[in-house]
Amino acid sequence: MKTLKRLGIIVVAVLMLLVGVTSNNQGPTAAVQHVRMLPSKRMVLSKQQTTVFIDAGHGDVDSGMIPLSGMYEKDVNLDIALRIGEILKENGVNVVYSRTSDVQLSTSNVDDLQSRIDLSVVAKADFFVSIHCNASEYGTRKGFEVYTDPNDAEAFSLSKNIEEKLEEVNYTDNNGIVDATELLHLVIFAEVPTTLVEIGYLDHEDDNAFIQTEAGRQQIAEAIANGILTKIHQS
């Protein structure tokens, strides 16, 4: 039974990848029609084209964190993921998404997470970047964190570049890089260098106010994309 279940997840992953690739060729959605190429920051990739798997966390009935007001986490994640993807594509990177619309990959949380990993493997991704928003028990915590495996040199380097670019935006506290090797399924079972970015706390007034603006989400997307491009340029 476990073998059949695992086979089913992989079949779903392949189908989702085909949908994602099709969507990738259709151009930006309405949410990202105004995404621009970063001025003076275009990087010509001299090596074989890099594939980046961009994961917008949650989806469908799994709304993720609930904000003080405005967009739910699942929608913020998708908006920023698509913006990142457009910037990367404009800079010669091959982009594959875990989702390009409000869908859930599985009704089981573990299977949903594993399906995202399986999709990245099918895509032969060089890097896996997952976008999320956070929340705290009392709504008093703010800032962004970057979760990864610090013992994976490639993953840590990717995470460090993203952290540094986000800090330059100066929109909230930098809570640093967090060891997620015993915390997050996506990192524990990653098969490619993986980083999960928690862009801010939706239950904190300041973080949520910035994230709920299109300009704020664009700045965050540009920072993360620049971090990824810097890593690719270093490779």
Q: Which amino acid is at 107?
A: T
Cα–Cα distance for residue pair 189/111, rounded to 1 Å: 12
Tens digit of each residue's pLDDT (9 = 90 or more) over 197-235? 999 999 999 999 999 999 999 999 999 999 999 999 998
* Residues in the chain with pLDDT values less than 50: 1-47
For the chain, which residues make up each domain, given as ranges? 2-24+48-234
Task: Give pLDDT, residue 35.
Answer: 36
Q: Does domain 2-24+48-234 have CATH number 3.40.630.40?
A: yes
Task: Give pLDDT, residue 32.
Answer: 35
Cβ atoms of residues 172 and 207 within 8 Å: yes
Cβ atoms of residues 134 and 184 within 8 Å: no
Cβ atoms of residues 145 and 175 within 8 Å: yes
Task: Give pLDDT, residue 98.
Answer: 98
Cα–Cα distance for residue pair 235/229, rounded to 1 Å: 10
Task: Give pLDDT, residue 179.
Answer: 98
- Residue 16, classed as helix, strand or coil, is helix
Task: Give pLDDT, residue 12.
Answer: 45
**Other C-beta atoms lying within 10 Å of the C-beta of residue 38:** 15
Task: Give pLDDT, residue 235.
Answer: 82
Task: Using alpha carbons, list the distances in angstroms from residue 182 to 148, 189, 210.
Answer: 10, 10, 30
